[in-house]
Amino acid sequence: MKVVFHERFKEVYTSDPAAAPGRMEAILSALEGVYEFVEPAPASDEDVLLVHTPSHLNYVKSLQRIYPIAILAVGGAIKAAELALASEPSFALIRPPGHHASPGSCWGFCYFNNIAIAVERVLRRKEIRRVVIVDFDLHFGDGTAEAFKGRGDVEYRHLPARDYVADLERFLEARDYDLIAVSAGFDRALEDWGGLMRREDYVEVGRVLKEMSLAKCGGRRFAVLEGGYNHEVLGGYVRAFLEGFA
């Protein structure tokens, strides 16, 4: 199990909750010394254009404080996907998040759709044929759903507010896939915006993802950070998920 991280993700690039000071540090304090860390390189503009329009790329480039971190976040998701293809489970500890970024627009603290770009990149390279994307953030990943709308090689699943473990098991058991990609949002936590998930729930979601990946796609799985905003508990919930996922 590897954690993909770069020191630049600690930078406060804007005033939204995803960019708040101390957010990355809260997660790092729970994971350092437990998992091996690897650094990503920034993605290329060509990578971004696999999913986004040229006008959207140019818009994010105009955000001079945000673009360098956003393009590095895409690189983090790509690195995590590459590790997963080698059957090395991975977690991209990155920001900005991405699942609200559609091909031509963005909102909700997102700029580029990190997970969508990483998935599209491995598909275009013919390294795999079919991917499922599981999203357990509090909010529906409208950008990810839009990016793959009408596609037969990618299926997006946002877990419901209740019975999410049973829903996840049914979904994964009924599909064929070569890779599981996960939008891992921690704003469902009891002490966060959603007030829904306990520590043991995150462990169980991670366990189901791990076991189904081992059973159906050679263990190929990776996750990327999306939401999660209560710094006092965020690191513990991320570590709980990784206990199951790893």
**Across 210-215, average pLDDT:** 98
The confidence score (pLDDT) of residue 19 equals 98
Model pLDDT for residues 152-189, shown as the tens digit of each residue:
999 999 999 999 999 999 999 999 999 999 999 999 99
pLDDT digits (tens, 9 = 90+) for 19-30: 999 999 999 999
Nearest CA to 156 out of 143, 170, 169 is that of 143
**pLDDT, tens only, 73-121:** 999 999 999 999 999 999 999 999 999 999 999 999 999 999 999 999 9
102 φ, ψ (degrees, to nearest 5): -90, 175
pLDDT score of 132 more than 90: yes
CATH of 2-245, one of 3.40.800.20, 2.60.120.680, 3.40.630.30, 3.40.640.10: 3.40.800.20
**Maximum distance among all Cα pairs of the chain, rounded to whole angstroms:** 45
Catalytic residue check, 99: no
CA distance 184 to 172: 16
Catalytic, out of 56, 100, 139, 158: 100
Name, in order, each residue with C-beta under 8 angstroms of 183's C-beta and a sequence gap of 6 or more. 98, 99, 115, 133, 134, 135, 136, 137, 141, 144, 223, 224, 226
Q: What is the mean pLDDT of residues 213-217?
A: 98
How many distinct helices (H) and strands (E) make up the chain?
A: 9, 7
Say yes or no to pLDDT of 127 above 90: no
The pLDDT score that the predictor gives to residue 39 is 98
